[in-house]
Structure 1
C-alpha cells in the first residue's frame, strides 16, 4: 500500500490545525481566495527572470497573460504556453507565479501563463477554446514576444494539463499554421468520466479527494454526456497519432495517477515519444508546495529540464 512521504505527513499535520473549507460549503469566491493563500507554500519567487503582464485579444473576448523570460537571455528563445491547475474553478496567474518563474529560469525558455476563463461561470468548452486560441495567439505574435515559433510547447498542471493536452491536438485540427513542438503535463486530469482505477484507489487522498475532483468536474462539465467526448478528455480520443512528444510527471497518491500512466502509454502506442515519471509518496500538485517539500523542488527542476530537452 502506498504511504505518504514523511515531509508530506508533517505538512498535512500542520495544515489540519485550520481545516480547509470544502468547495461545496462556501461561495466560489471564498474557495478561490483560499487557493490564493497557499502561494506562500511555494517558496521564494525566483528573481532571475523578467516578468511582464499583457492582454491577448481573442475572438469575442480578451484574456490576461504573463510572460516570463530568464534575465540576460539573448535572442529568441523556445517558448511554453502554460495553463494553471485549480480544477477548472480556481487558480490564477498569481497562484502559479512561483512555479512559472522556476520553470522559465531552470528550463531556459520563455513562458506565457494564460488566465483562462473559469467555471462555473464558464462551462465546457470555453476553457478548452481559450487554451487553443491563446496558443495560436502566441504563435502569431512570436516575433514580438521574442519566442521561436518553431520551438513552442504547451504545458500545464492538473486541469490545466488537460487544457494543454487538448490544445496540443486542437491546434493541429484547426490547420492555422501554428505548430506544437512538445507537451509537458504535471499531475494531469485527462479523463473526466473518472473511470480510472486510481480514482477509487486514492479516493480519500490528501489535497485532492475523489469527492472534490467530482465536484470540480460538475462545475465545468454540467452536461454529463460531454465528458465522454474526445474534445473534452484527451484519453477519449480514438487516436493520438500526430500529437507532439510529451513529458508527463505524476504523483503516486493521487486520484488521477492512472491518467498520466495511461496517456503516456497511449502516446507510445501511436509512435509518439513520451516519458512518464511518477514521484512516490507524493499527493496531487505537490510541486506547488516546493517551498516546504524537497520532492516538489526536484519535480520542478526535472520538469523544466525535460521540457527544455524536447524543445531543443
Structure 2
C-alpha cells in the first residue's frame, strides 16, 4: 500500500484530498463537457495545505452525492421530518418541570441530532465518522427507553459468574453518571427489561445488530482503512473525505439504515410518552 505520488522532497508524503478550493473534480473541455479529474493532492507536511483542508467545505463531494443519491437523501429528509412531529409533546412534558421527562427528551433529541450530523458527514465523504454517530444514535434510543420507566428497571453489574442483577431508577443513575448506566451497556440492560417496559425482543435484537455493525466504525479497523481507499481507481488514498462512485451501493445502504431508524422513531416516542404519562411509581 502506498500513497499516490511524492512531493518535491523524498520524505514528503502526499495523498488525495477533498478539493482545497471547493471546485468540482473536473474541467470543461473544448466542447463544453465536464471531464472527470482526480481530486488534487495535499502535502501533509505543508501546514497551509492542512489548514486549507480543515476549512474546506467539501462542495465537490456533496455535489456528487446530490447527483447520484438525491432521491434517497430526500426520502431520509422526509422520514426524519415526519418523525420529528411527535417530539413536541414529549418536549412539553419536560418543559412542565418533569425532570425525568427532560432526560428522556434530551436523549431523543440527541438521536435526531446524531442522525442529521451523521448524514452531513456521510455526504461530506466521511463515512467512518458518520457511522460512529449512528452507533451513538442507536445507543441513545436504548438509554431513552430505560430512562422513561417510572419504575425501577433491572440492570446487571459485573462480569461472568460474578454478574449480579439489581433494580435501579435508571434515569437517576444516568444523572449521577453511575457506571452502571453508561450508554455502551444500554442495549444489554434494555434486553433485561423487555417484559417490564413492553419492548419486543425482536426490536432489541435489531438494535443489538445495528450497534454491532457500527461498532466497527467506532474503532480502528479494516473497514476504516478501506473507506480511505479508492475502489474505482487503484492507488489513491484519501484524506479529509471522498466520493467514490464504486462505493455507491455502500452509500445507498448507509442512507437506507438512516431511513429505517427514522421510521421507528414515531412509535418509539409514543411509547416513551405512554410510560411517562403512566406515572406508575
Whether these two folds match at TM > 0.5 is no
| Structure holding more strand per residue | 1
Q: TM-score, normalised by structure 1?
A: 0.28
Q: TM-score, normalised by structure 2?
A: 0.30
Q: State which structure, 1 or 2, has the greater radius of gyration over its C-alpha atoms.
A: 2
| Structure holding more helix per residue | 2
